[in-house]
Structure 1
Amino acid sequence: MTEIFEAIRDFTETGGDVLLVIGCLIFFMWLLILERIVYINFTHKKLKNDLVAKWMARNERKSWNAEQIRQAYISRLSMQLNGTIPIIQSLVALCPLLGLMGTVTGMIEVFDVMAISGSGNARSMASGVSKATIPTMAGMVGALSGVFASTWLMRTSKSEKLHLQEAMPLQKDIA
């Protein structure tokens, strides 16, 4: 177990301080993604069933007022379903930007080494190059994983909204 922590520590030291920020950002993003997955699979299903039962218990489902009440129910549940998806999408967009910041700080270190020791010392420039490339890679990996997850969450959210609309028919739709 200590070997794993040492490997992580070495990796973050190789990538610089920006890599630690990227790691925290990716961790927070995936916490939000997992929260949405748990919400969709457990809480949303119960709320959806309760809402459909409440709608079906209504005596009057034909009028304009009933349609507006139905739309309000659907909108409220849809807002809860979307929850933190915009935040997740923002964090996905932030990952490559932080990776780019890591690239810039790593290249600044390379230029500092070149200014002090001259351009012929490749060994001293290597740490700056790794600090430039590792955060870029980490930002892109975080963004790609977040893009796939947020796309799935958005698709699931739209699908659930359509299922809710179909489960709550107006009486004029039935006839």
Structure 2
Amino acid sequence: MTAWLQNGLVLLSDYLRAGGAVMAPLVVVSVLMWLLIAERVLFFRRLERRNMPADQARICVRENRLPAPQYAEGAVALLVGEFVVHRSGRPALDRAMLDATVQRLHRALTHRLALIGVLAAVAPLLGLLGTVTGMIATFDVLAVFGTGNAKAMAGGISQALITTQTGLIVAIPGLYMKGFLERRARIVGQRIASVGLNLQREISSCSTSVPPEKEAAPARS
């Protein structure tokens, strides 16, 4: 296993060296993009795990209590918990506060997705830059040696093809994952919006009393 890993590292090192200077930013773009993708995948997994039913959400709002611990990381529980903590007890103000909470959660769902798309789009452009530099190196060899130095010519052409290949290898899965994460964000966002509408009706149908200490406390942003 150790020998196999060492051989793999040697091959990877040779591959990166053959691609030239452009391979370093390509590696940085790839690592950063996949770190962001992994963070978003774990984020959506937490939101969708043990999601609170809509009936439980209405009960929590009606009784002015926080969600149960088993729902603590779900998308609906985040909406209910944030609203219950900041609610004022006045229906009109609470409806506006609930709308603001829904919009804030929607922004959190799409956070970093645009950056993932930018990184995925930058990768093939870096690959194209490597293609240009590789062809320039090839033409420099032709200008000095003509067609007599096949090895140097092959090095320039290899650099051009390797950087193009690497840029596409980074970009294609990145764009796919961006679309996948956008679909998950849309599904979770629709669920949050639907629960928000139900809670709006719950707020309109009842006015929750606010504890005296909460009324006395100054408003916090």
> TM-score, normalising length from structure 2?
0.70
Could you tell me the percent identity over the aligned residues? 31
Q: Does 1:171 align with 2:175?
A: no
2: CA distance, partners of 1:69 / 1:153 = 27
Structure 2, unpaired ranges of 5+: 50-72, 206-221
Q: Does the aligned pair in 2 maintain the 1:95–1:139 contact within 8 Å? A: yes
**Could you report, residue by residue, the CA deviation over 1:107-136 in whole angstroms, capped at 9, with x for unpaired residues?**
111011101110343332111001001111
| Residue aligned with 1:91, SS | helix
**5+ unaligned residues in a row in structure 1: which ranges?**
none
TM-superposition CA deviations, 1:91-114 (whole Å, max 9, x none): 011111101100011011101110
Task: Tell me the number of residue pairs that the alignment of Structure 1 and Structure 2 aligns.
Answer: 174
Report if the CA contact (8 A) 1:98-1:139 is conserved.
Answer: yes
Deviations along 1:116-170, whole A, 9 cap, x unmatched?
A: 1103433321110010011111111111110000111111111111100112212
Paired position in structure 2 for 1:14: 18
Alignment of 1:19-168 (within 5 A): 19-42=23-46, 46=73, 48=75, 49-53=77-81, 55=83, 63=92, 65-168=93-196
Please state which structure has a larger fraction of its residues in helix.
1
Question: Which of 147-156 and 44-53 deviates more?
Answer: 44-53
Highest Rg: 1 or 2?
2
Which stretch of the first structure deviates more once superposed, 114-123 or 131-140? 114-123
CA distance in 2, matches of 1:67, 1:115: 74
Secondary structure in structure 2 of the residue aligned to 1:17: coil
- Partner of 1:125: helix, strand, or coil? helix
Instruction: Kindly provide the amino acid, as one letter, of the partner of residue 14 in structure 1.
Output: A
TM-score by length of 1: 0.87
Cα RMSD (Å): 2.6
